[in-house]
Structures are given as structure tokens and as C-alpha cells.
Chain A
Amino acid sequence: MIDRPASSASTVRSLALIAVVVVALVTAFAFTAGWLSPGRLTPAKIVNALAPPGGAALGFRRNHAKGICFTGSFESNGAALALSKAPMFAPGSYPVTGRFNLATADPKAPDATVRVRGLSLRIVAPDGSEWRTAMIDAPFFAVATPQAFYGLLKASADESDPDAMKKFAAAHPEFGAFVAWAGSAPWTGSFAQEQYNSLNSFIFTNASGQDQAVRWSFVPAAQPEAVTPDQLKARGDDFLDADITQRVHSAPQRWTLVITVANPGDPTADPTRAWPEDRRKVEAGTLVVKAIEPEADGPCRDLNFDPTVLPPGMHVSDDPFPAARSAAYSVSFNRRTAEDKDYPHHPAGGATP
């Protein structure tokens, strides 16, 4: 077992070899971690770019920062079992924790100033599997790729170049349709009158193993009533919270889950491209919102509505957004949960309802 002692020349060669191995391993690690690639689009970069000029609101979600919690149920009629074996598609009632929200990084933004509204859900099956989804009321997304989303954030915050947004729009023609929607679509005065859309495509798998590309929407039972932005401004900064609290207090609010099935060849990788209206639609059941709770002490506050938390029978498609959203939501969650003290659980001076 005991070899000859090494000569001094071979010792130097051996030490040099050891140094090379160590440096190679550390370099490979640093490269994998992105420490040598300042150009890599990391989730932290996207989250940083979401911050308003004055910095992020500590303790809050880094986007869709303003919101209100609710609880309720998903009443499944069983029709979607033909598409997905997800346990919450079996006929029955499943508990839901959710959040109505506004697409802004500012938790104090006046409601009338935020164009895009959102709905996040966690639906839990008896076996513990969960379906988490976060949707918005736009009919299609603003940009086609996560890289373009980052480009949009950078362009909109670029103070050195007054033409930054024009250049962005020129380079991303699909963005024009979103601007047109934002400028022309009617506003409503209630979260209860909005239709919320997944926009991203997912793959559903049924019990026979058949795959289907789908998107979904929650279609409100309440009839949308158009209200002008000026009228909304006159209702105060938080009229949406007051409205939904009052509505749900009077009666449960309902949405129908409509699953749209892609035809072969429909674009699944690009959420800026809506599918034609004539696609097959399956009504899977009803979301019933039964109780509203302010976010500070509400059950949605410390949940990450990561759209890749999916039950058996659902998985992501070639749409690149759910992965990017999952990565970025995780960074946002890790940051805000570490800032608990900056967002007191009992809002200062506020009476707990």
C-alpha cells in the first residue's frame, strides 16, 4: 500500500494538476450559476425590473401588488374529466383560496389607474393535490416571450431614451394589439364583472392518456357594465375592494370555468395569439366566491399562486411563460416573505373586519 515517496519535481506537477482540477470545477460551477454570464435573463432581473422608480413596496408581491383575498369553492360538474383526470374535475365541491388583484407594483395605486385586473386561485382536491392559476382580464398577452416582457419593463423605465417605448413597439409588433385593447376595451366597476383568462396554454391529459392543448377562462355570472375611467376615478382609490366586499356580503359571486380546446396547429407557445372563437369549449363548473378578507390578514397573502403548481392530468405546454412566471414568482415570494415586518399583519389603525 505504501508507495515510493514522490520526487520534488513530480510533487510540483501533482500540485499543479490538483490546482487545475479545482479551478475547472469552480469555474464550471460559477458558469452554471450565471456568475460569469451578466447577460443571462435571471428571475431576479425580471423582479428587479418590475420595481417602480422609488423601489419595490417591501412585504408585497412585486407585481399585482394590490389585491384582496377570498375563500369559496369550485363546484365541478364533471364535464372536464373528458379532458383531464385532475381530481378537482370529478363532480363535487373543492375548497378555493383566491385573490382579486391589480397589475401594478404599487399596493396603493388608485384602482381607476390600473388597466389590467387579475384573479388568482388555489383549488385543493381531497388527495392534497392542488391547481394554482393566476389569470388576467386581457384577452391576450402583451408580449410573446419572457425576454420581450423584460424588454418591455426596461423600455418603459428607460429615462435616457424618450423613444424607448416607440422602439420597443416597432420591434414587437404584437404589442400594438395589446395597446389597442388597453385603449379601447370598456372598463367595469367591479371585479365581479370581469372575465379572467389563463392566456397561457397548458396540456390536459385524461384518464385514457390523451393529451389536449387548452386555455381557460373564468366567465362572470354578473353582467359587465361599462363605466368610464373618469367615473371610476370619482369612486375613490379603493372602490374595487369596497364593491367586491359589498357584493359578496350580499350574495356569493359566481364565474363559470370555460376550457377552450385547441385545434391542431393552434399556437400554444405564444400567448399574444388568441385562438379563433369557434374552438370547442367545455364548461367545467362554477367558481363560487363566498367570503372576502383584506389581504393583510387574509389566507391569500402568503400563498404563491405559481401557475406551474398543477394536479395530475395537467402540465405545461411549449408556452415559455409559465416557467418564467414560476421562477419570477418564487423570487418575489422569497423576498416578500422575508419582509414580513414591513407589511404588518394587522394594518396600522385599521379595524379588523
Chain B
Amino acid sequence: MTPIHDRFTPLQRALHWIMAICILAMLFIGVGMVSTVRPDYLSLVSIHKPLGIVILVLALIRLVVRLARGAPPLPASMPEPMKLAAHLSHLAFYLLMIGLPLIGWGMLSAADYPVVVFGIHLPPILPHSNGLHTLLWNAHRALALCFFALIVLHLAAALLHALVRRDGVFQAMASWR
């Protein structure tokens, strides 16, 4: 099923790097906006919501592309636990990229806020409920912090592959050369 190639396709690489910028910006905006009462608060919130929808759409496209095109095999020299960690981290990335925007949308729905992005009124995806709101709000915050931690680990591992192991794993996603 998985074709034999040693790099991700150009579309996959483009999606990866565009989403990397979007998601990092999203996480910084998220923690920044909840910690200020300045007018920036409204600007940041007004970026956070549409950017979340953009990430959701890109993540769904990326999932389809990944299922269709697969990923280059990890080098045989990698120890099995490291391979397992790589596979699990990719699974976690997909769950978070798709799950966090949906949780945010659901959280706003459960609070009975109108959800307007790019001037379009999105329908509520959950009923008005204090219990649901609390559950999703806590999940949104906790999973966002986990997402940031996962990105830090991912970056460290990518650099380890690039600079120390030099096994081609980093080059598989690097968009240059």
C-alpha cells in the first residue's frame, strides 16, 4: 500500500510547513489572549477562531493525503521504541489537529456564543450546557498545552535526526534540496 519513496510528497511537505506555522501561531495566540485585558484581546480572539477553522480544514485534507500517499519508511537503523514513539506522535498530531478546533467550536456552542468566522455564522455543534462547556473548556486548555509539549518534542527529535543521527528522517520532510 505504502509506496516506496524516501521523502514526503511536495503537497505533504507544503501542508506540513504551512500548518506548522499556523499551529504554532495558534498556540501562542491562545495563551496570549487569555492572559490580557488589553484591546489586543479582541484582535487575538478574532484571529484564533478563523485560524482554528483553517487548521481543521487543512488537517482533514492532510489526513486524506496521508491515507492516500502514505509516509516514507523509517530507517532500519532506528531502534524499535523510537519507531513506536514516532508512529504514536504522528497519531497524536492528527488527533490534536482535528480534535482541538472541534473542541473549541463545541465549547463555544455549549456556551451559547454565536460562532462567526470569515463573516459566516457557523451552526452550533452542541447544545447549550454548562456541564459540556466546562468539560470542553478544560479539555481545550489541557490538550493545547499537550500539543505545545508535543511540538517541542517533535522539533527536538527532528533536529536530532538532522544533526546527530543523520539518517534521512529530517530530509524526508525538509522542503528544500
Contacts and interface: CB of A to CB of B under 8 A. Distances in A.
B32 interface: yes
A327 B128 contact: no
Contact of A18 (B33, B137, B160): B160
Contacts of B166: 2-6
Q: How large is the interface on B (under 10, 10 to 19, 20 to 34, 35 or more residues)?
A: 35 or more
A128 interface: yes
A29 B6 contact: no
A114 interface: no
A5 B164 CA distance: 8
A32 B133 contact: no
Contact of B32 (A25, A33, A337): A33
B163 interface: yes
A1 B73 CA distance: 14
Contacts of A128: 114, 121
B128 A22 contact: no
A269 B12 CA distance: 48
Nearest to A3: B166
Contact of B163 (A18, A318, A327): A18
Nearest to B46: A308
Nearest to B131: A340
Nearest to B28: A32
A14 B159 CA distance: 8
B36 A327 contact: yes
Contacts of B42: 308, 316, 322-323, 326
Given A34-B35, A309-B114, A25 B155 contact: yes
Contact of B37 (A18, A146, A309): A146
Given A26-B152, A328-B37, A333 B164 contact: no
A281 B164 CA distance: 72
A21 B32 CA distance: 21
Contact of A304 (B28, B32, B111): B111
B27 interface: yes
Interface in B25-50: 27-28, 31-42, 45
B27 A29 contact: yes
A228 interface: no
Nearest to B37: A324
A265 B168 CA distance: 64
A29 B38 contact: no
Given A2-B168, A3-B166, A25-B152, A302 B121 contact: no
Interface string A291-312: 0000000000011101011001
A263 interface: no
Contacts of A324: 37-38, 41
A58 to B, nearest CB: 13
Contact of A6 (B45, B114, B163, B171): B163
B121 A327 contact: no
Nearest to A23: B152
B37 A32 contact: no
Contact of A11 (B116, B128, B156, B164): B164
A278 interface: no
Q: Which of B31, B35, B40, B171 has the most CB of A within 10 A?
A: B35
Contacts of B35: 32-34, 40, 42-43
B90 to A, nearest CB: 20
Nearest to B31: A33
Contacts of B31: 29, 32-34
B159 to A, nearest CB: 5
Contacts of B130: 302, 337-338, 340
A11 B75 CA distance: 20
Q: Which of A127, A334, A340 has the most CB of B within 10 A?
A: A334
Interface string B147-171: 0100010011001100110111001
Contact of B112 (A5, A14, A302): A302
Contacts of A338: 130, 134, 137
Nearest to A343: B130
Contacts of A127: 121
Given A14-B163, A22-B156, A129-B121, 15 more contacts: A4-B166, A15-B164, A28-B28, A29-B148, A32-B28, A40-B35, A40-B36, A43-B36, A322-B42, A327-B33, A333-B111, A334-B134, A337-B111, A337-B133, A340-B131
28 contacts: A1-B6, A2-B167, A2-B168, A4-B166, A18-B160, A22-B155, A22-B156, A25-B152, A25-B155, A29-B27, A32-B31, A32-B35, A40-B35, A40-B36, A41-B36, A128-B121, A129-B116, A129-B121, A302-B111, A302-B130, A304-B113, A306-B113, A320-B38, A320-B39, A322-B42, A327-B33, A327-B37, A333-B111
The 9 closest A-B pairs by CB, nearest first: A34-B35, A33-B31, A14-B163, A324-B37, A3-B166, A337-B130, A1-B168, A338-B134, A323-B39
